[in-house]
Structure 1
């Protein structure tokens, strides 16, 4: 169980790019990083494309005025001259900026924590992965839901064979908040998400389904996709060619089948984030709306509900427990769990502790690469008439 005691020698000096007053995700990053005040300390930021607004915001969350910078390039240059300069940055900016900021940060000898989807193409990810390895730095990806510890319980039960051989994988991340085009017109945070130059080759496939796809990999690391078929739609026509709804069918190498439904036009749906894994002996099901419970259905036996923090759960699950039974945890604790693991990974990398790194389960650059590959393959299938395509490692840019 976690209780806030330090896992690394001292808090890492941390800066943010983006995540300011008008951003949708910046506060989630800060909640995650600062929940354990022994892991990170926010000392600098280039919080906004508007320098004055960014400075005002930074000072209002406790950053010194002279370390609220007008842009990330200035921040990297100035911080490099300080004895207590930043060691790691988080990138909480629109998708189209991730690659250039990440590359600049690594070249400034900084560790990186980046929003998803990581970049536009797997070629870009492979280039950054090589650079990160050369610089000896960590690149983490904020799949913010993946720190929910009941996902690790699913992983442990599947590994032990509790549900038998996996036959069906049913994934869903849907909501209804873009069922009309109102947000596209009036919300800056939504406008860029439906602009291909900024968002990349997809909307909900990149914005939503990459979360759930990574979580499925976390739960079932041995399961590899052989081929898939993607059908995507732009029900709000102004969003074309980007989709606001998509269905994906997957065939896995072991013969299992899977589906993914990603949608932001599921009218009336407040939270449709769900994972169901069906095996030959039993099934497991998890919902984001009730993340502290796991439904366990054994064929021929009464349905069981497993509850977080209980002693009957696997040690790998309870190691990430924070509040104890009877006290509700949720997304904030999930973000805190992955940020703590980012800190442990960065500290281990700096110390050359490869053993710790090899055992740590967190969304690293390989997870980011898989997310980009997922989007690339889905887009390739959809753009070629919703046909079956082999799930390949890297795609030529002409496909997207």
Structure 2
């Protein structure tokens, strides 16, 4: 159970690119990084494309004025010349900027935490993976939901054979907040998400389904997709060629089948993020709206509801506990868990502790590149006329 005690020798000096006053995700990053002030300390930032607004915002966060920079290139150069310069940076900017900023950060000798989807192509992912290895640095990806402890309970139970052989994987991440084009009119953040030049080759496949795809791989690390079929739609026509709704059918190497429904036009939906894994003996189901609960249904027996923080859970799950049973946890605790693991990974990399890195479960550069491949395969299938394609 996490109680705030330090797990690395000292907090890492940390900065942000983006994540400023108008950001939709910046606060989530800071909640995650700073919940355990023994992991990271915010010491610098290039928070906004508007330098004055970024400086004002950074100073209101407690960052010194001369360390609130106009742009990331200046920040990396200036911080490299300081004895107390930054050691890690989070990238919370639109998709199309991720590759250039991540590459510059690694070349400046920094560990990196980046928003998803990482980049536009898997080739870019492999280039960054190689560069990170050359520089001896960690690249993490903020699949924030994946820090929910009950996902690790699912992982443990599946590994222990509690549900038998996996047959069906049912994935969904949907909401209705973009059911009309009004969402673009009132949100700059939404505008760029439907601009291919900035967002890349997809909207909801990249913005939503990559979370759930990674979570499924976290839960079932041995399950590999053999082929898939994707059918995507732009119900709000101005978003074409990017989709606001998509269905994906999957065939796994072990013979299991799967589905993914991802959508931003599921009108009225406030509870559209769930994972159900069906085995030959039992099923497991988790919902983002009830992250403290895991439904366990054994064929022929009464349904069981497992509750976060209880001693009957696996140690893999209990190790991520923060508040104890009866006290609800949520997304902020999940982000804190993955940020703490980012810090542990960075510290282990600095010390050359490969044993730690080999056993640490967190969304790393491989997970980020796998997410890009997921998008690429889905787009390739959809653009080919919703045809089956081998998963590459």
TM-score of the aligned structures, taking structure 2 as reference length: 1.00
Partner of 2:256: 256
Counterpart secondary structure, 2:255 = coil
* Pairing 1:102-113 to 2, within 5 Å after superposition: 102-113=102-113
Residues 77-92 of structure 1: matches in 2 within 5 Å? 77-92=77-92
Instruction: Find the aligned partners of 1:108 and 1:37 in 2 and give their Cα distance.
Output: 24
Distance 1:273 1:118 in 2: 21
Matched, 1:12 2:12: yes
List per-residue Cα deviations over 1:350-394 (Å, max 9, x = no partner).
0000000000000000000110000000000000000000000xx
Partner residue in 1 for 2:216? 216
Paired with 2:313 and 2:246, the residues of 1 have a C-alpha distance of 35
- Alpha-carbon distance, 1:100 to partner: 0.1
Q: Quick one: distance in 1 between partners of 2:184 and 2:340?
A: 34
Q: Distance between the aligned counterparts of 1:52 and 1:37, measured in 2?
A: 27
Give the superposition deviation at 1:183.
1.4
Report the secondary structure of 1:9's partner residue.
Answer: coil
Q: CA deviation at 1:83?
A: 0.5
Extract unaligned runs of 5+ from structure 2: none
Aligned 1:263-342 pairs, distance under 5 A: 263-342=263-342
CA distance, structure 1, for counterparts of residue 53 and residue 186 of structure 2: 19
* DSSP-derived class of the 2:128 partner: helix
Task: Report the counterpart of residue 229 of structure 1 in structure 2.
Answer: 229
1:25-64 map, 5 Å: 25-64=25-64
- Superposed CA deviations along residues 207-266 of structure 1, whole A, max 9, x for unmatched, are 000000000000000000000000000000000000000000000000000000000000
Give the CA deviation at 1:62: 0.7
1:129 aligns to 2:129 (yes or no): yes
362-371 or 180-189: bigger deviation: 180-189
**SS of 2:99's equivalent?**
helix
1: CA distance, partners of 2:231 / 2:2: 42
**Which residue of structure 2 lines up, in the alignment, with residue 396 of structure 1?**
none
Pairing 1:76–2:76 present: yes
- The correspondence of residues 344-355 of structure 1 with structure 2, limited to 5 A, is 344-355=344-355
Cα deviation digits, residues 261-292 of structure 1 (max 9, x gap): 00000000013000000000000000000000
SS in 2 for 1:172: strand
Determine whether 1:382 maps to 2:382: yes
- What is the aligned residue count? 392
Q: Which residue of the partner structure matches residue 398 of structure 1? A: none
Q: What SS is found at the alignment partner of 1:101?
A: helix
Residues 57-96 of structure 1: CA deviation (Å, up to 9, x unaligned): 0001111100000000000000000000000000000000
Q: In the aligned structure 2, how far is the partner of 1:297 from the partner of 1:71?
A: 52
Deviations along 1:263-322, one digit per CA (max 9) or x if unpaired, are 000000013000000000000000000000000000000000000000000000000000
Extract unaligned runs of 5+ from structure 1: 393-400
Deviation at 1:185, TM superposition (A): 1.8
- Between the aligned partners of 2:271 and 2:183, the Cα distance in structure 1 is 18
How far apart, CA to CA, are the structure 2 residues paired with 1:15 and 1:86?
7
Distance 1:144 1:91 in 2: 14
Q: Secondary structure at the match of 1:266?
A: coil
Distance 1:132 1:111 in 2: 8
Does residue 150 (structure 1) correspond to residue 150 (structure 2)? The answer is: yes
What residue is the counterpart of 2:67 in the other structure? 67
Matched with 1:2 is 2
Other-structure match for 1:397? none
How many Å separate the matches in 1 of 2:271 and 2:367? 24
Once residues 3 and 35 of structure 2 are traced to their aligned partners in structure 1, the CA distance between those partners, rounded to angstroms, is 10
Q: RMSD over aligned Cα, in angstroms?
A: 0.3
Query: What is the distance in 1 between the residues matched to 2:212 and 2:294?
Result: 16
| 1:141 paired residue number | 141
Structure 2 CA distance, aligned partners of 1:30 and 1:163? 37
Pairing 1:177-188 to 2, within 5 Å after superposition: 177-188=177-188
SS in 2 for 1:33: helix
